[in-house]
Amino acid sequence: MENTPILQLKDVKKTFHPGTPDAKTALNGVTLDVSNGDFITIIGSNGAGKSTLFNAICGTFYPDEGSITLNGKDITDAPDYKRAYEIGRLFQDPMKGTAPHMTIEENMALAYCRKASKSFFAVNKKDSAYFRELLSQLGLGLEDRMKTKIGLLSGGQRQAVSLLMSTISDPKLLLLDEHTAALDPATAAKVLEITVNIVEKTKTATMMITHDIRAALALGNRTIMMDEGRIILDISGDQRKNMTVDDLLTLYSKESKKQLANDRMLFSLEK
Amino acid sequence: MTLLLLGSVQLGLIYALMAMGNYVSFRILNIPDLTVDGSFALGMAVSVMTAASGHPYLALLFAVLAGACAGLCTGLLQTKAGINPILSGILTMTALYSVNLFVMGGKANQSLFGFDTVFTFYEKLGLSKAMARTIPPFIIVVLVAAVLSVFFKTRAGMAIRATGDNEEMVRSSSINANFAKCVGFALANSCIALAGGLVCQYNQSADTGYGSGMLVVGLASVIIGEAVLGHGGVTRGLISVAVGAVLYQIIIAIALKVNLLPAYGLKFVSALIVGIALAMPTVKAAIARQTKKKNAKGGK
């Protein structure tokens, strides 16, 4: 079972504002297999289509072409909230992952309710004890502040809780969209450490977008590079182990140039 | 004066139901719902026709159901048709003018004189008229507040609260935020229609134009209540809104009594209260900035 892909994208294409001068091909035929237990880091310049790829997986929009399969089910046409049943997602903005006017406990209960046993009230003793235990593992002292409104926490604390929330119901896939980029370096390191611990413990297939190329190579087992809505590099195993940051940067400019050359060839053929 | 106060409290208790409905859409779902004027009159229309056929209690139940349908319409227009929240409320409200006239058989007003109402029922039980007109609204307000307060602690209720707080997070928690919104609007408008249904039995008449401006009256009650009792959880919010509704009616009654303003000036005053209250944070910030500037200059 280890080798059956948990997530499968087949030639996914998406163009925004088609037929207008603003037309932008955000995804240009993305094909990707994510195996169970994969921890993939994703790099690429701004506008390369990294976040758009996540949006396509989560169903923020429907792709123009191609198909998306999650856990053996074709979810290409499924609405966003139904896909979310098996997907945990974390955004760069710590404010996006939590409801500020609700308590830590209520926020966690909300994230947990898709998999929790049936209960009339939103927060019950059994779940509450479980949340407490999870929070104490963060080592931030939040387990004693479960009745605190989450809007009162710092960005790092909110992001740490969001991380717990996105993994609390054992998703099949975890998507991290530069989730430490808005934090100060010390907090970012702490949140990243918590992330790695959780991913290693739960063995959830994870995709992480990052701008930190060093981290991209150091974390996980596979690295993907995107450019202009395409995956231009997909390395794992020994090839990745022997890669240095400089190698990767050289490869990046080489690969994106090659792509450019291909485009030119296409254009000249059309003429 | 006591009679005047008692009358205000009675009306205030009935309007508290409407204010609670406003609280659900305006504060919990965080979406201004303009269906109010229409659904209030719908509650009246349905209630007056059912009461006139001899079923005052059933009238209230039908009013609640009709209100829920109106709220559901607004919710569907927003979520399924993707129409702007304000506009979808206006659309439902406008359509309801015709619906209400249809319900009342094409007549703009209908009297209930000589018919049984929930209030005459208590009079027949031997209560004084004053008591008979105070106790039923009080019981209903307490019941509705209790039910709502418990409901918003359940999973479904929490999903609605979270939808108003951070919709994106609700979606990524695998909860159908559109459904939550529809339930919220249905709930809000059923409270509002219940208020309409009670008002027409209280006044022993219904008028299709009675609902106009009710949104502002409801919001004024919400704002007055919050000014007196402050912000807090849902239970506290519902209580403060009910208190706000009663206070609003007392303020209006006194203003009318001392001839501070003619009866037709009421809506102007309601709009003024809401306008000032909503502008308050901005005005406060501007004043704080000015004083800071002045102090800095003075210091030199």
The domain containing residue A9 runs over which residues?
5-270
Domain presence at residue B7: yes
Domain presence at residue B279: no
Cβ <8 Å between B165 and A102: yes
Q: Output the six-digit token pair for B243.
A: 């208190």
pLDDT band for A144, please (50, 70, 90 cuts).
Answer: very high
**Exposed e or buried b for every residue in B22-55, given b needs 16+ CB within 10 A?**
bbbbbbbbbbebbbbbbbbbbbbbbbbbbbbeee
Domain total in chain A: 1
pLDDT band for B48, please (50, 70, 90 cuts).
Answer: very high
Domain presence at residue B182: yes
Domain presence at residue B153: yes
Residues of B in CB contact (< 8 Å) with A are 153-155, 157-159, 161-162, 165-166, 168-177
Q: How far apart are CA A198 and CA A4, in angstroms?
A: 22
Residue A270 has pLDDT above 60, yes or no: no
Cβ <8 Å between A121 and B176: no
The domain containing residue B119 runs over which residues?
2-212
Position A3 scores a pLDDT of 63
What CATH number should be reported for the domain holding residue A197? 3.40.50.300
Domain presence at residue B228: no
Q: How far apart are CA A85 and CA A131, in angstroms?
A: 19
Q: How far apart are CA A37 and CA A42, in angstroms?
A: 16
Domain presence at residue B106: yes
pLDDT band for A214, please (50, 70, 90 cuts).
Answer: confident
CA distances from B9 to A36, A49, B26, B151, B249 (A): 65, 61, 24, 26, 7
**CA closest to A174 among chain B residues:** B172
B105-158 pLDDT, tens per residue? Answer: 999 999 999 899 999 888 888 888 888 899 999 999 999 999 999 999 999 999
Cβ <8 Å between B162 and A119: no
Residue A126 has pLDDT above 90, yes or no: no
Cβ <8 Å between B173 and A110: yes
Q: What is the mean pLDDT of residues B260-287?
A: 84
Q: Which residues from A are below 8 Å from B171, CB to CB?
A: 80-81, 84
Residue A268 has pLDDT above 50, yes or no: no
Position A40 scores a pLDDT of 94
Domain total in chain B: 1
Dihedral sign (CA A214, A186, A141, A98): negative
> For the whole model, what pTM was predicted?
0.87
Position A119 scores a pLDDT of 80
